[in-house]
Amino acid sequence: MTAHMGPIPLPDGGTLTADDRARIQAEHAVSAAVRFRQQWGQRCLSLSGPPERLAAAKKLAEELIRKNGTEGGRITESNNGGNQSKEVQALRQQLGRIEGQMQVFNTQMQWVSSTLATATNAATTANQMATQAAAVAAQASALSKQAMEIVITDKKRKKATREQLQSESESDSASSPSKPQREGDEAQGEASGQEAKEQEKGDAEAAAVEKMVEPVVREVKLEEEKKEAAKESEDEEAGEPSEPTILPPNMQENVANAAVLGAVLSDEKSLKELWSLRGAAGTKPCCLCQNVVGHMSREDVASHEWLVHYSCTNRTRFAKHTSASFQAMRDRLALVAAAGSKKELNALGQCFGLQYNDLGVLWHPTLKDQVCPVSQTMYDWMHVLVASGGVAQYEVNEFAKAVQQLGIPLSTLDQFSRTVILPWGRKNIPRDFFQERINPENDSHVRAFATEVMVALPILALFIETVLEPNSLLPEHCTSLKLMAEIIDILTKMDGAVHLATQLRDAVDKHGILFDKLYPGCVKPKAHWKFHIPEQIQSFGVNMSCFSPERKHRAIKAIASHVFNDAISGSVCLRIGYDTIQHFAENDNCCRAMHLEGPVREVEDGAKMLNFWSNEVSSVSLAKKIKTPVGVVAKGDLVLALDERMALRPHVFLEAVLITGTPSTVRGDAVLDVEWSKVDAGLVEAFFYDHPDLRGENLRQKLEQTVMDWKTKTTRMEFNQESTYMDEVDLKKKYESRPELLAAILENAHRFFCPVKKVLLYADPEYKGRVSDVTENGTTEKRKCATGLLDTEEQNKKKRGKNGKPTEPGKDDKPKLKAGEKKKMTKKVEVLTAKKLQLNDLISKAGGYGDMIPAYVRTHAQEAVDTVDAGIRNAQNIIDDNKGDVKNMMEELDKVLESGAGAADRLKAQLEAAAAFNV
């Protein structure tokens, strides 16, 4: 048996040498050691061995520790001439602390392992108990159903027996039986007295059951009578009914509108009240799935074969409801409610996810067969994703906190968002959005409106592409947020999302897996509802959201504020209905995909003006805005007609009404359409890739500049010289028939003496030509000559100076530098030179850390050095020539300086991190 003693504190420190520990082991069979542990805070003595010898071993160990002394903890050795160095002591103390931390870590790991094992066993036991409970519940339900059927059958049998006895009794009393016969009947009645009592008791129970189901039977009969009456009235009507129409309210006629309920779009609370659901907090949070459960931990159903938690991301495991299965649940609740068992009704409603309400639409006698939540429910993606604690709100909040944990403050995100230029008509988020709206609590969502979240998502996606992804930071978090941005981007395409339903479904599935992995505490029932959105858009063939109905709230509140009686619901509905019909009656454009917006005026003699376009024009209208399926376009906007490869800047919009009555929209003044349509498709794509941030007049100027750059391109023929070196004998043999060419080669060709052959070799040049499109300011390589093949007649004309004479070759008309411009450029060159020296110094320092500095950081820094060097050379050439485009050169130098500063900051941060790691 082995016992342990310690740790015994040693306030004055001290230690045991190897000889001391060997002596204690030899005399008492006890192992002793003096160590320092972080949790102890000082050096302590530990003993391990037989229990009866620990006390004597402790006494001997303390004597040896006092003998060794406390100075450094060890005996001074005679051969070193002094105490051990303080550095060695510090290293030993540090080693002791590390050993203490390792021991604590091992203890924690053992505790974690044991806890996990206990949790696993508990989960297994819970799953087994849940399975057994489900089996017992199913068996009890089946037995209850059988018992009910037996009771009903028995009551029917007893009722039939009683009716038969009554009929026999009446027939006996009608006739005049003899005295012996009456005596026999009395004897028989006494024998069956007990049976009659039992029959009366059964009759009372049967009457109670009939009374409970009487309301249900009455409703069914009433519904059948109404159907028969409606059918008879239809048979009596002559002719076919005309299609229902919406007429203006000023027409004093009764209008009947017939419609079929297609889809109900609303938030979760509205669906809960309409369909009598238990809601998101209930056991069945989804009315479209049979086996999706909630109000419990995901571990409770993790091993279940059929039930799944709402956090499940495998849509193949969702068992969808059908109209028949949902109606069966509805009818079953109605029967249980008629029986009067509230406890059973509540339990069954919890299993079905329904709250029985005899006044609800699901149990209405005339509406219950016209509605079905399975086929008529459409989850609103606005509430599910971007509003009211939606999935995207959790995504933005948790992603911002993950970025903050990297050392990037939220103020940096706000500063980045202020530099982003959003499309026209979309308002940016507040200046301090991320600092004020991010919730620091665990598993929480951002405090923001739906439109703010929809703006924050693309800003964060741009931050990912420009900052995080180039540095390989938070790869999974970045992928999850970009998938959410892609989902929102598809849904904001209106009905265009119908054709992208497959892509939307894939994005939702991928995002669900990553979101559950990264933020498991943020997975709510809305995370499950989003799996139904793609299939609902594809099924209904339309993409709807609650943005427009939510905006309608202000109109409803404005009406309700002037209603002071109890009939507020009816008053508001009538007024809103009147305004809606009035809008349809007075607005001819409400159902048109494209029409003029704003003040519209008719153009006099417009038909004559557009006679060249069509001779069927009857009238022409003019406006400064036009509504299109992709948005509103105003005067001065830039419109890209990708199919025609044209850039347009409309000045006015015309709408022509043809004789047939069909309006046709004619675009206004188009700018750059002819020139831009001739530009190569690759240049068009490259232009919009390189300049995504340009807007307004800047974009127009850049377009004109791009077109001009394209016009200055010319075709060049390049000749490459390749020489073969031959001696004089071989040259004479090759050019035997051309002596004049041989003489020119021997006189002018490059020559050198070959030390191997001991002969003089001459270069025999050969030329190969290649035609290519190059710019006029392109450079040619050495030993190459370029001949311009000018295609256009204008390019073949010679340039002429102010006096009409041809200019000298190579002479240009660049403006001369002013004194102030030259001074500014000289200072800029000095700043660039200093930045170049800084980068070279940082690169040389980075070489000392080897692989600790990432290769891409060093490569980027070296590229920045080359860029800065090129900028310095270009600027110096302008300074030396005292002429050139100073404005463009200064802008280019600013960009070069910004790029160099960014590379220097990144490399400097890597060097600081590497230096801190080495320490």
Query: Which one, of 810, 811, 805, 792, lies nearest residue 712 by Cα?
Result: 792
Please, are residues 382 and 524 in contact by the beta-carbon 8 Å criterion? no
Per 3-state DSSP, the chain is made up of helix, strand and coil in percentages (nearest 5) of 55, 15, 30
pLDDT at 165: 59
SS3 594: coil
pLDDT at 468: 93
Cα 235 to the center of its chain, rounded Å: 57
Query: Which one, of 622, 668, 626, lies nearest residue 648 by Cα?
Result: 668
- From residue 645, alpha-carbon distances to 308, 453, 694, 854, 890 in Å are 52, 34, 19, 43, 33
Buried-state track 549-588, b at ≥16 Cβ within 10 A, e below 16: beeeeeeeeebeeeeeeeeeeebbeebeeeeeeeeeeeee
Could you tell me which residues are beta bridge partners of residue 774?
A: 714
Could you tell me which residues are beta bridge partners of residue 716?
A: 772, 788
| Global confidence as pTM | 0.46
- From residue 264, alpha-carbon distances to 167, 379, 540 in Å are 58, 8, 11
Residues 363, 327: Cα–Cα separation, whole Å:
10
- From residue 42, alpha-carbon distances to 39, 81, 97, 98, 103 in Å are 9, 28, 10, 14, 15
Q: Which pair of structure tokens corresponds to residue 865?
A: 């050095």
pLDDT at 113: 74
Could you tell me which residues are beta bridge partners of residue 32?
A: 47
Please, are residues 813 and 885 in contact by the beta-carbon 8 Å criterion? no
What angle do helix axes 410-418 and 450-463 make, rounded to 10 degrees? 100
Please, are residues 637 and 578 in contact by the beta-carbon 8 Å criterion? no
- From residue 164, alpha-carbon distances to 159, 160, 167, 518, 806 in Å are 9, 6, 5, 74, 133
Residues 471, 408: Cα–Cα separation, whole Å:
13
- From residue 582, alpha-carbon distances to 246, 562, 590, 630 in Å are 10, 20, 11, 26
SS3 32: strand
- From residue 201, alpha-carbon distances to 168, 188, 206 in Å are 20, 20, 9
What angle do helix axes 410-418 and 391-405 make, rounded to 10 degrees? 110
Please, are residues 780 and 718 in contact by the beta-carbon 8 Å criterion? yes
Query: Which one, of 305, 307, 303, 306, lies nearest residue 295 by Cα?
Result: 307
Q: In sequence order, which residues have a C-beta less than 8 Å from that of residue 25 and are 6 or more positions away? A: 31, 32
pLDDT at 575: 86
Type of residue numbered 432: D
- From residue 708, alpha-carbon distances to 443, 688, 693, 799 in Å are 55, 16, 21, 18
pLDDT at 256: 62
pLDDT at 615: 74
Residues 424, 639: Cα–Cα separation, whole Å:
12
Q: In sequence order, which residues have a C-beta less than 8 Å from that of residue 81 and are 6 or more positions away? A: none
pLDDT at 799: 41
What angle do helix axes 450-463 and 391-405 make, rounded to 10 degrees? 40
- Low-confidence residues of the chain, pLDDT below 50? 71-84, 172-192, 213, 236-252, 666-675, 707-715, 774-812, 919
Q: In sequence order, which residues have a C-beta less than 8 Å from that of residue 69 and are 6 or more positions away? A: 14, 75, 76
pLDDT at 126: 65
Residues 687, 681: Cα–Cα separation, whole Å:
10
pLDDT at 221: 59
Please, are residues 490 and 497 in contact by the beta-carbon 8 Å criterion? yes
Query: Which one, of 509, 466, 472, 468, lies nearest residue 487 by Cα?
Result: 509
